[in-house]
Amino acid sequence: MREVRDKCRIQIEITNACIFSCTNCYKFTGHNVESHFMELETVKRAIDSLEGFQGKIGITGGEPTLHPEFAEICRYLRKKVPPDQRYLQTTGYRWTDYKSVIKKTFAERVEYNDHKDTTQKNHPMLVAIKDVVSDDSLRRELIDKCWVKERWSALINVKGCFYCEICGAFDALYNGPGGHPIEKGWWSKGHKNFNEQMERYCYLCGGALPQPPVSVGNKEDHISISNFLKIKKLQTEKFQNNRVLLVSKKYSQQDIEKISANWEPWLNKGIEGRGKDILQRYGALNSILLRVRRFFRFRSKMFRKYEKRIGRLFWRLSKMLFI
């Protein structure tokens, strides 16, 4: 099992508010009873807690530009985090308002998805593996090999620090006991420190289970009985608007093996074109320079090594001279 310190990224979810309510959103938009906005001091504490972490540090939501102190958050991120580690996930909302701030803080390290592609497919996370896989040993095996834990990020949200983004989303949705306290070095602790949150939510999650993906053009969240009853009790917006589809299918070993043959839920088809879209926003000259840099990045490990060193050197110099 990959430790948090070895993950490629840790996300800071500054808000769960979003302008969309996409089908099978892994942040459960449309089900969260209330929107939260992380207090600025908490965001700063979250950023400070990641001192020494060598992976990417992402600002995410919901839609992060909805946060009323987004510009101040970006300013603090520039002060504390080297340029090559800063990433943003956005729908492009309020781009006009924050274009200069985003360019200054994240350069081209922006993951942009405007959700206009209705052929995009999401994995149904609310189909609880405990409901649809009867074999306990098979469930445990799938959870131990879960692609979300291996490929996706850890998370800091208003509830604390979580080993897995989906764990954090479940805890916020069901108002759980919270994650690990936001404190320096939390990410360096072994996975045993996160066992309780994994045991609490992994069996409610469908991430580890090979399932057919669902197009965002489909308006109904696929959901199994355990989560259905919880959502019903919460009387969420999607539930009240009949945007849930109760799934009762049981998955056998044979079903799972068949689906697994062509199953790559980590490849989000709706986001593959984001690079071109975001580069166009930076103008023709910057597009050319960034393409040249990417050409060398993909072909030279030495280039990436010295690019990072030079970038961090200039960042430290700018802190001493201008910040």
**Domain boundaries in the chain?**
4-251+261-271, 283-322
What's the predicted TM-score (pTM) here? 0.86
**One-letter identity of residue 71:** A
Question: Residue 60's beta-bridge partner residues?
Answer: 13
Highest mean pLDDT among 95-99, 190-194, 221-225, 274-278: 221-225
Alpha carbon distance 20, 270 (integer Å): 15
Q: Which has the higher per-residue pLDDT, 212 or 311?
A: 212
Calpha distance 292→142 (Å, rounded): 41
With a pLDDT cut of 90, the percent of the chain lying above it is: 71
b/e burial code for range 127-165 (CB count within 10 A of at least 16 → b): bbbbbbbeeeebbeebbeebbbbeebbbbbbbbbbbbbb
Best-predicted range by mean pLDDT among 1-5, 55-59, 262-266? 55-59
Residue 276 has pLDDT above 60, yes or no: no
Q: What pLDDT is stored for residue 274 in this prediction? A: 46
CATH architecture of the domain with residue range 4-251+261-271: Alpha-Beta Barrel (3.20)
pLDDT of residue 128: 98
Alpha-carbon gap, residue 315 to 323, rounded angstroms = 10
Range from 46-50, 104-108, 133-137, 308-312 carrying the lowest mean pLDDT: 308-312
Residue 317 confidence (pLDDT) above 80 = no
Residues 36-48 have pLDDT tens digits of: 999 999 999 999 9
- What is the rounded average pLDDT of the residues 111-129? 88
Residue 269 has pLDDT above 50, yes or no: no
What length does the chain have?
Answer: 323
- Radius of gyration from C-alpha coordinates of the chain: 20
What pLDDT does residue 272 have? 37
